[in-house]
A and B are shown apart, each in its own frame.
Chain A
Amino acid sequence: MNDIIVSMNNISFTYERKKVLDRVNLDIPQGAFIGLVGPNGGGKTTLVKIMLGLLKPDEGEVTLFQQPISQFKDWQKIGFVSQKANSFNRGFPATVYEVVSTGLTAKVGYFRFFNKYHKEKILHAIDQVGMLDYANENIGNLSGGQQQRIFIARALVNDPELLILDEPTVGVDQENVHKFYELLHRLNKEEKITLLLITHDTGTMTEHATDVVCLNKTLHFHGKPEQFEDMKEKDLSMIYGHNVNLVTHHHSPEEQQ
């Protein structure tokens, strides 16, 4: 059960002569729900990009599912919902079904068409996020929270073992944030999908996550949510470099950008 599916050892990364990550170690055990928090520019997205092979670290090693990243081919095991999913072209004329189908394109492969099995998979993924009624709706007609669910369905359609979400709740109102976490909770507990969630929202996240990781160039904290809550009061301003308002869970849009 406690197999390590992602292992990052001594990762350092420099971006335009500025060190963004400094000897970071992070292991993700199977079945975990990890909340990755930290200030803007603290290297969260960079770390994930390294994990996905989009960036090469200056130093350090990444192991995915017991394989060095250079040899890893099974990318379908990792689902990724990027921050950009929030800012996609909202007028794009595609139905929910069509958008989710793009998740299967690479898996089905060249010169092959979607068959009945794939079509059922697509509908199942849409059902998993509770959006089946909207399958034939234009994605542009949905709310931000609903669109975010569709992007998760696009990742789920490949049956990923690990799902990485980068700031998925930006631009989603508080009530829907709640429903959103319920969905993540269900995916983690019932579908046994390991989750890595990058977020600013340290409040709601700690109610659901099994582990919290705090990153600002180096790893400042890695432990249970309860410990994180205790530590928050004392140390978080040090990590963030200024006083953060820990009481409100709702961030202003400027802060979230």
Chain B
Amino acid sequence: MITDFFQYEFLRFTFFTGILIGIIAPLLGTFIVVRRLSLIADALSHVTLAGIAFGLMMEKLFLITFSPLYSGMVFSVVGSVLIEKLRYVYKAYQEIAIPIILSGGVGFSVIFIAVANGFNNDLFNYLFGSVSAVSRTDFLMILCISIFVTVIVALFYKELFTLSFDEEHAAISGLHAKGIHLLFIMLTALVIAASIRIVGVLLVSALMTLPVAAAMRLAKGFKQMMVLSILFGELSVIIGIIAGYYLNIPPGGTIVVTSIIILLLAIAKNKWGIGSKKVRESL
């Protein structure tokens, strides 16, 4: 059943790309979830859509061909910097940055699509993901992003964790909270741009948050949660891609449904299973 994936080159690229994003999306997702920034992933994915639409427009109008993922990536990273700026402007209402950037992303997408007089099913692939859309160049780019993101997270793990746990204390102890936060949000933007080929704009945030939500139910400690999240993410991506291919469904849908099933199982195990006994004492 899985043999097709080794027979056809395009499927191989999809498969390996899936494995990569199954690692990096939940990896960043753990920090996103504990910092309550889940919606930022959504906002950034919509900005990425604007970038992709821009790329497709350039291709259609001016015949300038480059992988739209490049323009998607640029838009996403710029969007992440803007979110940080906006969060600073509206200190007391930081979440207002999210609808501003999200609607801005969709707004620009609509304009680019209209200017280009609409696209064919290319755009549909970007919205919901595709098993057949990953080219060799896309794969190599996503591979580079994955290596880069993993190395940076490993290097700054203790800073990222310290900042996530207690921002005030991190600042008092002399960490450059603002700089680290900016770095983190830009990494998120890169991961989103990388993941969009497979899971699509509308569902990329799910791959960053659902495996983490499931892992949170079961893990002891942060590192364990991170490992479990990656495991769940990987499982969802692999099952999702194979199911999507054979059932002829965009993989975004099958991946997300798989992660929801994993999440439900984790909640069930936690509730009725042999979960760790809580030593919580009432206060």
Please give the residue numbers on chain A whose beta carbons come within 8 Å of chain B beta carbons, in ascending order.
52, 54, 75-76, 80, 82, 84, 88-89, 91-95, 97-99, 101-103, 105-108, 110-111, 113-114, 136-138, 140-145, 154, 171-173
- On whether the beta carbons of B158 and A75 are closer than 8 Å, the reply is no
Given contacts A98-B161, A144-B283, contact A105 B175 (CB under 8 A): yes
- On whether the beta carbons of B283 and A82 are closer than 8 Å, the reply is no
Nearest Cβ on chain A to B220's Cβ, whole angstroms: 6
Known: A114-B158, A143-B280. 17 other contacts (CB 8 A): A91-B216, A93-B34, A95-B221, A98-B221, A98-B222, A102-B162, A102-B165, A102-B169, A105-B159, A105-B175, A106-B174, A106-B175, A141-B279, A141-B280, A171-B283, A172-B283, A173-B283
Given contacts A136-B221, A138-B220, contact A82 B169 (CB under 8 A): yes
Nearest Cβ on chain B to A144's Cβ, whole angstroms: 4
Contacts of A98 in B (CB 8 A): 161, 165, 221-223
Q: Which of B129-169 contact A (CB under 8 A)?
A: 155-156, 158-159, 161-162, 165-166, 168-169
- On whether the beta carbons of A88 and B283 are closer than 8 Å, the reply is no
User: With A and B bound together, what is the CA distance between A136 and B165 in angstroms?
Assistant: 16
Given contacts A80-B172, A82-B168, A102-B162, contact A142 B220 (CB under 8 A): no
Contacts of A94 in B (CB 8 A): 161, 165, 221-222
Contacts of A136 in B (CB 8 A): 220-221
- On whether the beta carbons of B155 and A106 are closer than 8 Å, the reply is no
Q: Which of B212-239 contact A (CB under 8 A)?
A: 216, 219-223, 225
Please give the residue numbers on chain B whose beta carbons come within 8 Å of chain A beta carbons, in ascending order.
34, 155-156, 158-159, 161-162, 165-166, 168-170, 172-175, 216, 219-223, 225, 278-283
- On whether the beta carbons of B219 and A93 are closer than 8 Å, the reply is yes
- On whether the beta carbons of A101 and B221 are closer than 8 Å, the reply is no
Name the residue on B nearest A134 (C-beta).
B279
Name the residue on A nearest B173 (C-beta).
A106
- On whether the beta carbons of B280 and A102 are closer than 8 Å, the reply is no
Question: What are 21 pairs between A and B in contact, CB < 8 Å?
Answer: A75-B174, A76-B174, A80-B172, A88-B165, A93-B219, A94-B165, A98-B161, A101-B158, A102-B158, A102-B165, A103-B173, A105-B159, A105-B173, A110-B159, A111-B155, A113-B158, A138-B221, A141-B279, A141-B280, A143-B280, A144-B283
Nearest Cβ on chain B to A209's Cβ, whole angstroms: 24
Given contacts A93-B34, A172-B283, A173-B283, contact A105 B170 (CB under 8 A): yes
